[in-house]
Structure 1
Amino acid sequence: MRDILIAAAVGLLLSIFGTPLAIRLFSRRGYGQSIREEGPSGHHDKRGTPTMGGTVIVISALIAYGVAHLIPPHEMTVSGLLVLFLMTGLGAVGFLDDFIKIYKQRSLGLRSGAKALGQLIVGAVFAVLVTRFPDAYAITPAETRVSFLRDFGPSIGIIGFTIWVLIMIVGFSNAVNLTDGLDGLASGATGAVLASYILIGNWQLRNSCTSQLGPNCYWVRDPLDLAVVAAAVLGALIGFLWWNAPPAKIFMGDTGSLALGGVIAGLAITTRTQLLLIILAGMCVVITMSVIIQVGFFKMTGKRVFRMAPLQHHFELAGWAETTIVVRFWIVAGLFAATGLGLFYVEWVPK
């Protein structure tokens, strides 16, 4: 618990005091956001707002995680480092995307193919390494099964598991990216998921099969350190949200959204709650589905289901104020996270 509190506190302090420095630096260098012409007209006032704020989240979280292992000094775990690698790697892909947008002064950064390739490369390295470091007390040499509240069913093999992990990583990093359409929206939605994984990691530690054997114990490697990772990122995210709340003084950009999507996907994979993430991050899933429905329906019929996709822009064009949309979506995100946590707990309750 001490490590979790230290990681959250350090991440918060670094981010809340470091973000204003980033705002001044990015403003001085002209690292402002480009706005799509076809987007909601109200967004044109945001043109020039500093972007790439996700760099503050990533750096603050990395430092916070390191500090949490220095007081007192103790080893970092492979599980925590793998998730942080995934966050940093996807953040680097997003940074490159943001930088190209700024350098070329356009709303399109990396081409979709190049962006997807970057995500796949980072995700593939993570997937391979995960199978090389199975749970400390696992029976099989590599855990390659799908999980919901815990692993179930037969192994799908190294190749099948790698593909499944890639789908999760690319899917959720893009889902958070689509959610990042209004000031503070993605920060609040992913914050609820990170808070859930702090509780899940703690619960898995207290009911680990390494300390008590039983039908309801968890075979999860390094659950405490995964909770520390979630706390470090959550602290950094809350500090950033102070400046990202409407009206935002800075945007996280693809640097932040891809990194955050990677973190929650990595936590789901390493805590063996992969399918549960669909519920925990339900707000991001709903927003992503709105885009899929809009594009698919338009291609089939030439008509639109929503006034604009992603979903938050539909409500903007319906006349909702931006702050109203953000707060209500935060509430829905919290309800999704609470539902996921409820299912996690109910499944554990001894029968």
Structure 2
Amino acid sequence: MIALLMAAGVALACSLVGTRFLIVWLRQRGIGQPIHEDVPDAHKGKAGTPTMGGIAIVVGAVVGYLVAHTRQGLPFTASGLLLVGLIIGAGAVGMADDWIKISQERNLGLSKAAKSIGLLTVAVGFSVLAVTVTDVHTNLSFTRFDNFEDLDLGPVLWCVWAVLLIVGCTNAVNLTDGLDGLAGGSAIFGFAAFTVIAFWAFRNAGQAGALANYQIPDALDLAVVAAALVGSTTGFLWWNATPARIFMGDTGSLAIGGGLAGLALLLNTQLLLPIIGGLFVFETMSVIVQVAAFRAFGKRPFRMAPIHHHYEFAGWPQTTIIVRFWILAGLSTAIALGLYLADYIHLTGQ
């Protein structure tokens, strides 16, 4: 528990101070976010706001993770280091995208092909290493690795599934990152849930009988990564809350998405992820419905997608949308944790 508090506390402090430093440094160099012309009018005044604040999220999480390991008895593990590598890799792809946007002063960034290739490279690297250097189970799982004993995907299919999950999750968080603090605040709920799940698995490590179904050898190290992400994202949110002094950019949204997907894969909670990240699924589905309806019927069900923009055009204040969506994110996370606990109670008969 002390290691988790160290990781979260150090990451929070590092991100809090680091984000403030980034704001000053980026402003001095005139590095700001270009804005789409077709967004609601309230966004046009945000042009020039410093971006790439996700650097502070990634650096804060890494520093928190490293400092927590100064505590005696907490060794580095392959799973923990691989997850950190996924976060850094996804963040690096986002940073390249952000840099092109600000250097060319246009809100386009990397081409779709280049961005997809970058994310696929990171996702494939993570997936292959996960099945070769860690003890990850290759079963399709909900709350534990043996939820579906007959659905062992095997190394190859599991890698394909992992790549799809990582790419999907990174893009979902990226779509949600459209209002001040919306993606960051929602992600904190998800990382907190994975901290609880990973620590729960650690507490049950070495148990026999039904509890053996929760065995995750590197669970404590994964809990430390999740706690560090809670801290670093919270520190960034201090400056990103409305009115945002800085945006996380693709650097932050892709790193956050990679972190959520990686935790779900390594903690055997892949099918629980859509519930933990329910808001991100909601936002992504709004885009899918919008595109599908327009192509099929020539009509758009929403004024603009992702759906948070629809409510902006409907006249909702940004703060109202953000807080209500945070509530939805919190409720979906609570439901996910309730399902996790209910399965544990059912399994153990307690």
TM-score clears 0.5: yes
Work out whether 1:251 is the aligned partner of 2:247. yes
State the secondary structure of the residue aligned to 1:46.
coil
Cα distance in 2, alignment partners of residues 111 and 18 from structure 1: 29
Aligned pairs for 1:285-300 (under 5 A) are: 285-300=281-296
Q: CA–CA distance in 2 between the matches of 1:255 and 1:100?
A: 12
CA distance in 2, matches of 1:168, 1:189: 18
- 1:41: Cα distance to partner? 1.5
AA in 1 matched with 2:301: V
* Distance (whole Å) between structure 2 residues aligned to residue 61 and residue 174 of structure 1: 21
Name the structure 1 match of 2:275. Answer: 279
Whole-angstrom distance in 2 between the partners of 1:227 and 1:102: 35
Deviations 1:209-256 (A, max 9, x none): xx2111133121211111100011110110110000000000000000
Change (3 A) 1:74 1:212: closer
Deviates further, 152-161 or 173-182: 152-161
Q: Are positions 1:269 and 2:265 aligned together?
A: yes
Aligned residue in 2 for 1:213: 208
Residues 5, 227 of structure 2: 8 Å contact kept:
yes
TM-score by length of 2: 0.96
Q: Does 1:234 align with 2:230?
A: yes
Q: 1:134–1:221: 8 Å Cα contact kept in structure 2?
A: no
Cα distance, 1:73 vs. partner? 6.9
Superposed displacement of residue 16, structure 1: 0.9
**Aligned-partner Cα distance in 1 for 2:231–2:112:** 31
Matched residue, 1:187: 184
Counterpart position of 2:122: 122
Does the 8 A contact of 1:183 with 1:251 survive in 2? yes
For residues 20-55 of structure 1, give each alpha carbon's deviation from its aligned partner in whole angstroms, at most 9, with x where no partner exists: 110000111111001000111110000000000000
- The question of whether the paired residues in 2 share the 8 Å contact of 1:221 and 1:270 is answered with no
Partners in 1 of 2:129 and 2:152 — Cα distance?
Answer: 17
Gaps of 5+ in 1: 136-141
In structure 2, the partner of 1:170 is 167
Q: Distance in 1 between matches of 2:117 and 2:30?
A: 28
Q: TM-score, normalised by structure 1?
A: 0.96
- 1:12 touches 1:235 (CA, 8 Å); kept in 2? yes
In structure 2, the partner of 1:87 is 87
User: What's the secondary structure of 1:299's corresponding residue?
Assistant: helix
Aligned AA (2:63): I
How far apart, in 1, do the equivalents of 2:37 and 2:217 lie? Answer: 48
Equivalent residue for 1:304, pick from 300, 304, 323 = 300
- The structural deviation recorded for 1:70 is 1.0
Q: CA RMSD in A?
A: 1.0
Report how far residue 294 of structure 1 moved.
0.2
User: Which residue pairs with 1:200 in the alignment?
Assistant: 197
CA distance in 2, matches of 1:207, 1:63: 28
Aligned residues: 343
Q: Aligned partners of 1:273 and 1:281: how far apart in 2? A: 12
Give 1:190 shift.
Answer: 0.6
| Code of the aligned partner of 1:326 | I
d(CA) in 1 for partners of 2:196, 2:303? 38
Alignment correspondent of 2:142: 148
Counterpart amino acid of 1:167?
L
Q: Distance in 2 between matches of 1:188 and 1:89?
A: 22
| Structure 2 residue aligned with 1:138 | none
Instruction: Report the residue type matching 2:83 in the other structure.
Output: V
Structure 1 residue 143, shift from structure 2 partner = 2.8
- 1:134–1:143 CA contact under 8 A, matched in 2: no
Deviation for aligned residue 1:74? 4.2
Given the alignment of the two structures, is residue 348 of structure 1 paired with residue 344 of structure 2, yes or no?
Answer: yes
Q: Give the aligned partner of residue 139 of structure 1.
A: none
1:295-326 superposed Cα distances (whole Å, 9 cap, x missing partner)? 11101111001110001000000000000000
Counting aligned pairs with the same residue, the percent is 51
Aligned-partner residue type, residue 180 of structure 1? D
1:77-128 Cα offsets, whole Å, 9 max, x none, are: 1111111110000000000000000011001000111101100000000000
Correspondence 1:51 to 2:46: no
8 Å contact kept, 2:78–2:134:
no
Unpaired runs of 5+ residues, structure 2, are: none
